[in-house]
Amino acid sequence: MSRLNKHKLQQKKKKSFIIISSFAIIAILILSILIFPEISNSISISKTNWTVLSNNTDIDDMEYVVSEQPKKATKKIDLDGYLFLGDSYTVLLKDTITKHNPNAIIKAVEGVQPDYWIDNFSDLPKNDDVKGVVLLIGVNGATYSNNIPNKEKLISSLAKKYKNKTIYVQEVFPVGKKFSNANPKSFNKSIKNNNKATKKYCDRYDNVYYINATHNLITKDGYLKFTRDGLHIAGNKQETFYENIVSAINKSN
């Protein structure tokens, strides 16, 4: 027999062996599934934790059981003992804050701008008396040239005074379409610019976080949604406002 024929014969035997071995393995697997049906339940798609119960190759027609994975409980931040600092927005939120946080310290005055708290900084509690700070200020005087620098000065002073505490600076809300003290569109443009500058400034400090608590309280075109005077959040939405603050703080941590 020639070397070529010998080689072909060897190749043929090799293929036959592979085919027979494959059939044997398949037969063993089928027998195992029939004898031990629970094995069939272990075939799973690891990435999705789905157990495939059908041999249909079309995934849309498959039946699967979703293995529920235990979710880690999100720890809500405790704002009891925090200092809430600001203007009329915080004044209107006072009852809601104290309902959830009896030991919260609220320092808020209607109609004030950032410079008010710079001038009255000595009225704020000592570092040891607060757990953290939530600041919302800047809608009053949003179009004034000194609004941004004064707010930055206030943030800087808070960061130094409460250096081992976390300070959350809220995004200023836009006004509503019925705002009458100025043109709502141009006024909101100033607020937007101020917010952008404040957010950038907060990044300078390790203990200062910029948060956005406007979820579901702003219209798609950027105006305050629930308001009676065009400036403040309506009373029946104060709870939503508070929950937004808590949610935003949790997301920032």
Fold of 83-252: Rossmann fold (3.40.50)
User: What pLDDT, on the 0 to 100 scale, is given for residue 187?
Assistant: 98
As averages over each run of 10 residues, the pLDDT of the chain (253 residues) reads 50 64 72 57 41 40 42 70 98 98 98 98 98 98 97 98 97 98 97 98 97 98 97 98 97 89
Identity (one letter) of the amino acid at 37? P
Q: Which of 90, 81, 169 is nearest to 126 (CA)?
A: 81
Give the separation between CA 189 and CA 219, rounded to whole angstroms.
Answer: 15
User: What pLDDT, on the 0 to 100 scale, is given for residue 37?
Assistant: 53
User: What pLDDT, on the 0 to 100 scale, is given for residue 30?
Assistant: 72
Which two three-digit tokens encode residue 201?
A: 């400034």
- Would the pTM count as exceeding 0.75? no
Q: Which of 162, 158, 134 is nearest to 252 (CA)?
A: 134
User: What pLDDT, on the 0 to 100 scale, is given for residue 81?
Assistant: 97
Give the separation between CA 93 and CA 103, rounded to whole angstroms.
Answer: 15
Give the separation between CA 41 and CA 32, rounded to whole angstroms.
Answer: 12
Q: Where are the domains of the chain?
A: 3-66, 83-252
Q: What is the DSSP letter of 65?
A: E
Q: Report CA 92 to chain centroid distance, whole Å.
A: 25
Q: What are phi and psi of 57, to 5 degrees?
A: -80, -10
